[in-house]
Structure 1
Amino acid sequence: MADARTPRRPARPRPAPGGPEPLGTAARRAALRLLDAVLRRGEPLESALAHATRALAGGPDRGLAHAIAAETLRRLPDLDALIDSATRQKLPDDAKARSALRIALAQALSLGTPPHAAIATVLPLVDGGPRKLVHGVFGTLMRNGATLPEVPTLPAAVAERWRDNWGKDVAAAAARAIAAPPPIDLSYADAAPDPTKVLPDATSLAPAHGRVAAGSDVAALPGFAEGDWWVQDLAASIPARLIGRGTGIALDLCAAPGGKTLQLAAAGWQVTAVELSESRAARLRDNRERTGLSFDIAIADVLAWSPPAPAQAVLVDAPCSATGIFRRHPDVLHRAHGGIVAEMADLQARILARAADWVAPGGTLVYATCSLEPEEGEAQIERFLRDRPDFRLRAPQAGELPDGIAAEPEGWVRTLPGTLEAVGGCDGFFVARVERASA
């Protein structure tokens, strides 16, 4: 392959330094900021979005910046392999030239952006010698017919951890799962309507569930304005399904964005949703207003807060590494290392121990995490049951779980990459239901 530092004549002239920037450059600059926030500072992509896109004029540009960054993160190991194949010396991982090449290649090879537009809009992001390097590497790869593999490559550390924990088939399924954004699941306030009769091309895998294609305009779907449903991954609906219907007091801890709170309210419970973040609680309020469902919101740290009375049902959707939602949030593949898993596992144990004391005798506690790490799921509940002999595990009964999802022999629920793959898959979740002994 030709040396990138002596490139052949590019197919299109590049803009002169100091001249007007090509249309769309601002969105690429925002995408570059997003990558820096995730890869260098370890921030979640969604949390970094507002600051990184603050200079953009409108929603479409913000959406484009997010799409470019997310696709780059989905394909990062393969993009880096292409870049390294076209340079004599390996570029530092945090070099701006590497980041610019990543987003240019992601656009040209995965998002369908014409190559001349992909490179023209990233060249203004680098100055001096790196500008020539970026242009040369990109041109070399395009001329040599560079492609990305159909199945993306997982980051090495993640692939090794998931192979060790779940086996090579699950790791392979995870790689297939990040090839494209997943479908969108909707949870309905009323189980009676059949979503497949009112939503074009929808499917249903459980009562009060509808699934539509990835990229659907959610706000334009029938029932959105009326508050009939909310967006919630099918696996994320399992914790509240295992609590079921009731008329007593229910607590939803660490509640935002609120899908489980809405499920409990729709099932008849008197719900208090506890959320530490005021900004995240805004989502709860928005969904409460749109759906018309009734529940209380407490802005509080569950490690310092206490309910006024014991509850018949407590749902602990604990903070976690969030590795189970990597299909929708590929940044977790690059942020959630072993240290974060250990930190989250410690926090989960403290929340779980405190929440258990709020369960009334004979009441139910459901513990859940959207994590693929056993330390945040299986190991957590095993330790809890050893420490709290007044609780026992209660396995799901027939009809409580979505079609195609079954409880593990131990009695808890574990969804993994590959679960329901033939019909669009679901997020990785761990869910366990335990009951407190009656007084």
Structure 2
Amino acid sequence: MSSERATKRNFGRKQKPADPIEAEDRPGLAARQCATRLLGAVIEKHTSLDGLTDNNNGHPQYMALDDRDRSLVRAILGAALRNRGTIEAAIGRMIDRPLPENAVALKHLLHVAAAQIFYLDLPDRAAVDLAVTAANNDPRNRRFASMVNAVLRRLSREKESLERASATNVPAWFEASLVAAYGKEKAAAILEIQAKEPPVDLTVKGDPKEWAERLGGLALPTGSVRLATIEGALTSLPGFAEGEWWVQDTAASLPAKLFGDIKDKRVADLCAAPGGKTAQLAQAGAKVTALDLSANRLKRLRANLERLQLNAETVEANLAIYDPAEPFDAVLLDAPCSSTGTVRRHPDVPWTKTPEDIAKLAALQAKLLDHAVTLVRAGGTIVFSNCSLDPLEGESVAKDLLAKNPAIELVPVTAEEIGGLAELITKEGYVRSTPADLANDDPALSGMDGFFAARFRRKY
């Protein structure tokens, strides 16, 4: 009997129950079981992957793993989410009818294994065998164990042709929003780069070219240093312990550059944690007040500043009602948003956010910006930014502020202020980046986060 026929004939057939295998008896099994559980939490419950894989307060199943298995879980989930449509299409070609509607755990198990087979440098046989073992250990999936075995073995044999199959790897609403905002061609380019592992960008205190040479990276026109790959732990790189640099996507570094010379000026970073922009402002010589609603996030910010040997006043407060004793010379509002510009780094975002979330966040941003402009003195500068690709959270918020507040005027951004990247300047004078910008011949060195930034001045 051919493997293909076996795949189809064994679909749903009851199997003889296998004796459960304890996860600790099979190296790697616990990690695969955890990845399957967390993928389900992302897709079914729209739970943030960052929260599930937080090394201090993550999912209990994740917390029970050692560091090596945690890294494996994150790699599996990243591949599974970035390539969800491709994996779904490949599995669909292996079976003669759709999986049962209630077989969600089975689908997640197959996706986890397929992600390893297609995208990770791991033995295919291990991915297949551990998936079959995991199926036998789960009462919901036990009767599908033979089907899991046959499907995954076929995927392994045919992966070269299946991997090239064209598929959309994001929900329909997300793709439609990109097309509406950027057109079909630019939307396709964004989706293509989002499916690839992102590089690591560093903001350095010293000369970017010197640090790029020292770290084996690339000095970007924005002043960031980009690394395509990192051997070993990030913390082991030269300069980390000495506080000479911090991780920050080059797009995220742009808003703080829009203040110009801020030496000795009082500047508030209003949604500051984890502190990348706070560090930029402090490094530029500003007297920084870093505000955040979360005590835990401020604790992390203070730890980051301590490593970087930079100083800032930290304030735990609700920005919506924050009332400082005197106005600031400048304020930065990097507002809470849908994070749709960071999908390359956070591939769960399209699956955990909805259009309704974007509308609610846009309303919150407008409210926070209305208050933020009251915190700056007459003649002072306000920079509003976020990492959303949706104009509702960026351009629309900025336009509405200008329309309703005569005390506020727009100060257009120039290309010289952002490394000469004129293509990022809109006709209004806003900054608008997408993952498809900052192209490089090497995809591993290409792209940037999607970001929006606008600069205003308070006239009176």
- Give the aligned residue type for 1:59: D
Partner of residue 115, structure 2: 106
Cα drift, residue 210 of structure 1? 1.1
CA offset digits 1:115-137 (Å, max 9, x no partner): 21002222333332132332232
Report the counterpart of residue 14 of structure 2 in structure 1: none
Contact 2:217 2:225 in 1 (8 A): no
Q: Does 1:153 align with 2:153?
A: no
Match of 2:402 in 1: 385
**1:23 & 1:307 partners in 2: Cα distance?**
55
Q: Which one is further off, 297-306 or 127-136?
A: 127-136
Alpha-carbon distance, 1:353 to partner = 0.6
Q: Secondary structure at the match of 1:87?
A: coil
Match of residue 63 from structure 1: 71
Q: Which moved more, 1:294-303 or 1:230-239?
A: 294-303
Q: Is the 8 A contact 1:324 1:428 kept in 2?
A: yes
**Post-superposition CA distance 1:58-113 (Å, at most 9, x none):** 21111111110111000111111112222233223861110000010000111132
Structure-1 residue corresponding to 2:428: 410
Specify which of 405, 408, 412 is matched with residue 395 of structure 1. Answer: 412
Given the alignment of the two structures, is residue 165 of structure 1 paired with residue 178 of structure 2, yes or no?
Answer: no
Q: What is aligned with 1:26?
A: 30
Match of 1:129 in 2: 143
Letter of the 1:26 counterpart: A
400 and 284 in structure 1: CA distance in 2 versus 1, 3 angstrom threshold: same
CA drift at 1:436: 0.6
Aligned counterparts, 1:2-401, within 5 A: 2=5, 4-6=7-9, 16-20=18-22, 21-49=25-53, 50-91=58-99, 92=101, 95-126=104-135, 127=138, 128-145=142-159, 147-149=162-164, 153-155=168-170, 156-190=172-206, 194-207=210-223, 209-216=224-231, 217-246=233-262, 247-397=264-414, 399-401=416-418
Distance 1:94 1:171, change over 3 A: farther
SS of 1:421 mapped into structure 2 = coil
Report Cα offsets for 1:217-264 as digits up to 9, x if no partner: 421222111101100000000110001331121111111111000000
Distance 1:398 1:113 in 2: 44
Report if aligned partners of 1:254, 1:316 keep a CA contact under 8 Å in 2.
yes
Identity of aligned residues (%): 36
Distance 1:181 1:242 in 2: 29
How has the CA–CA distance of structure 1 residues 199 and 356 changed in structure 2, closer, same or farther, with 3 Å as cutoff? same
Change (3 A) 1:150 1:63: farther
- Higher mean alpha-carbon deviation, 117-126 vs 15-24, is at 15-24
2:450 alignment partner, one of 424, 428, 433: 428
Tell me: CA distance 1:171–1:355, structure 2 relative to 1, closer, same or farther (3 Å). Answer: same
- Secondary structure of the residue aligned to 1:411 is coil
1:221 and 1:152, CA in 2 relative to 1: closer, same or farther beyond 3 A?
farther
Q: Which has the higher helix share?
A: 2
Instruction: Quote the offset at 1:152 in angstroms.
Output: 6.3
- Tell me which residue corresponds to 1:11: none
CA distance in 2, matches of 1:175, 1:329: 13
CA RMSD in angstroms, aligned pairs only = 2.3
Partner SS for 2:37: helix
How far apart are 1:343 and its partner, in Å? Answer: 1.0
Contact 1:3–1:88 under 8 Å retained in 2: no
TM normalised by structure 1 equals 0.92
User: Residue 175 of structure 2 aligns to which amino acid in structure 1?
Assistant: A
- Displacement of 1:40 after TM fit? 1.4
Could you tell me whether the CA contact under 8 Å between 2:402 and 2:408 is conserved in 1? Answer: yes
Deviation at 1:164, TM superposition (A): 1.5
- Structure 1 CA distance, aligned partners of 2:61 and 2:215? 33
The CA deviation string for residues 371-416 of structure 1, in whole angstroms up to 9 with x for no partner, is 0001000111000110111111111235310343542110101001
Alignment check: 8 A CA contact 1:196 1:210 kept: yes
1:150 deviation in Å?
A: 7.9
Contact kept, 8 Å, 1:151 with 1:176, in 2: the verdict is: no
Distance in 1, Cα, partners of 2:305 & 2:435: 32
Distance in 2 (CA, whole Å) between partners of 1:218 and 1:54 is 21
Are the structure 2 counterparts of residues 273 and 106 from structure 1 closer, same or farther at C-alpha, using a change threshold of 3 Å?
same
Distance 1:161 1:2, change over 3 A: farther
Deviations 1:29-77 (A, max 9, x none): 1211221221111121111112154453421111111110111000111
Question: Contact 2:92–2:98 at 8 Å: present in 1 too?
Answer: yes
Report the Cα distance in structure 2 between the residues aligned to 1:152 and 1:181, rounded to whole angstroms.
Answer: 18
- 1:3 to partner: Cα distance: 5.7
Measure the CA separation in 1 of the matches of 2:334 and 2:63.
35
Contact 1:152 1:179 in 2 (8 A): no
Query: 1:281/1:149 Cα in 2 relative to 1: closer, same or farther (>3 Å)?
Result: farther
SS in 2 for 1:4: helix
Output the CA distance in 2 between the equivalents of 1:52 and 1:78: 30
**Maintained 8 Å contact 1:367/1:433:** yes
Displaced runs of 4 or more, over 6 A: none
Q: Specify the SS of the correspondent of 1:121.
A: helix
Deviation at 1:291, TM superposition (A): 0.6
